[in-house]
Amino acid sequence: MARDRTITCKVNGRAYEKSVPVRQSLADFLRDTLSLTGTHLGCEHGVCGACTVLMNGRSVRSCLTLAVQADETDIVTIEGLRSDSGEWHQIQKSFHENFGLQCGYCTPGFLITAIELLEENPDPTENEVREALSGNICRCSGYSAIVTAVMAAARDMLELQKT
């Protein structure tokens, strides 16, 4: 069996064609091959959620996804959240303004998970936010500020849509 395969994919809007070892995880591909080290590995067995990225708009654990599975997909990582003009995504602003991070290691996964939630449910209750974030571990914050940040982002995004 071939040890390497060539994949084509789009990451943060940029097209790539790369040869990858078939055993390489998507996380290692993003971090080591593309130097996108904003995606963090916390457990490498799919529990902590720090490595969560968007693949075709859905959140995936990049530690449990193989790089070859990313063939012909569209990936978004934390590095791709800013707009073309360099503006922060509302969720980044909201995490900052609400002190939604401490050590910041889990933050990329929370941002991505929150973005997926707000795409599906733009006006979530606090309970729905907690439920949606329950697959991501934060060891520093006790989640309170994170939940507040996601609720605030939802409000701000709804406001923006109205205007």
Footprint of other proteins on this chain (CB under 8 A)? 21, 23, 31, 36-45, 47-48, 50, 77-79, 81-82, 88, 92, 95-97, 99, 101-108, 111, 129-131, 133-147
Nearest residue (CB) to other proteins, 37 versus 72:
37
We find the least distance from the C-beta atom of residue 162 to other proteins, in angstroms, to be: 25
CB of 119 vs other proteins, minimal distance in Å: 19
Q: Which is nearer to other proteins, 69 or 102 (CB)?
A: 102
Minimal distance, residue 14 CB to other proteins, in Å? 15
Distance of closest approach, residue 34 Cβ to other proteins, in angstroms: 12
Q: Which of 143, 133, 61, 131 is nearest to 99 (CA)?
A: 143
Could you tell me the CA-to-CA distances from 146 to 26, 38, 41, 47 in Å, in that order? 26, 19, 20, 18
Q: Give me the least distance between CB of 158 and other proteins, in Å please.
A: 21
Structure tokens at 35: 């130097």
Kindly tell me which of 85 and 163 has the beta carbon lying closer to other proteins. 85
Closest to other proteins by CB, 13 or 142: 142
Closest to other proteins by CB, 104 vs 122, is 104
Q: Are 83 and 93 in contact (CB under 8 A)?
A: no
Q: How far apart are CA 71 and CA 21, in angstroms?
A: 13
CA pair distance 54, 40, nearest whole angstrom: 14
Number of neighbouring beta carbons within 10 Å of residue 42: 17
Backbone angles phi, psi at 78, to 5 degrees: -60, -30
